[in-house]
Structure 1
């Protein structure tokens, strides 16, 4: 038989097994004033209220035994800790499916496109134009409305004609007529 532990394990109530007699006891301890409490012997079979476990049915015990650790995500496995180098692009492409290869190509193209695009440093500079900005890119402004963006209807044609008249008044029209037309437009 093995020897008992030097510092015996205690229960919640403080009950430990005496290494000499193998009886259950509450070992002696010191009070804050320095005096010593005597060792208390516990009757065989007695369980104090603090040590009474909560009743768990067999199914509850099985569920707790099979439960995942707290914070665990179902289906997640930690990355491998092997020190093997990552496979190169050529090795990875041979083991990938067609769809995965296609997605990787798309991803690379998007990455290249982002690198190529230039962002203006100063938005007040109208001289510089970003690549891809122009007449046919679908952008709108007050000076150049994009009429190709939406299908033309009778109403849009009429609005377009009015805007052209207002933007370039003929020599016959006076300033008063132009202001009247503008007032009609801003309903």
Structure 2
């Protein structure tokens, strides 16, 4: 006896819960347990009977063809994804092409966005000198210790003047 002739151990059920009994090959609703622990009996289904849950909607030939050719949800007609950069340089670049590519990269590095996308990115681009809080009277002591532990001893005079003018504006007595 080959394995393909045997019915499956866990038969597939229809929407109404009807399954094929593996022993008798009849259509049945298998026995199940209720929430109180009692068991429902297995119910036999008459041959040819189809419950309302299992009845499919009628689809004409044009409807089925339209559904088969339908675009996926959210698809934009005519849109194609941009080509990957790996596919572009298939042949080696000439000297002038390499030079132009370097120029483009340099130009892109020099150009900075006028409006930042995320305010939290400002923390990543902090100045070389540490920011000094001026909220409490003990902040003067921390400012002195921060100056002594500055990593760059050759600080620009203009940066120092700008920082001192900002501190004067922030200092509240």
TM range (shorter): 0.3 to 0.5
Greater RCO, 1 or 2 (C-alpha within 8 Å, sep 6+): 2
Larger Rg: 1
TM-score (norm 1): 0.44
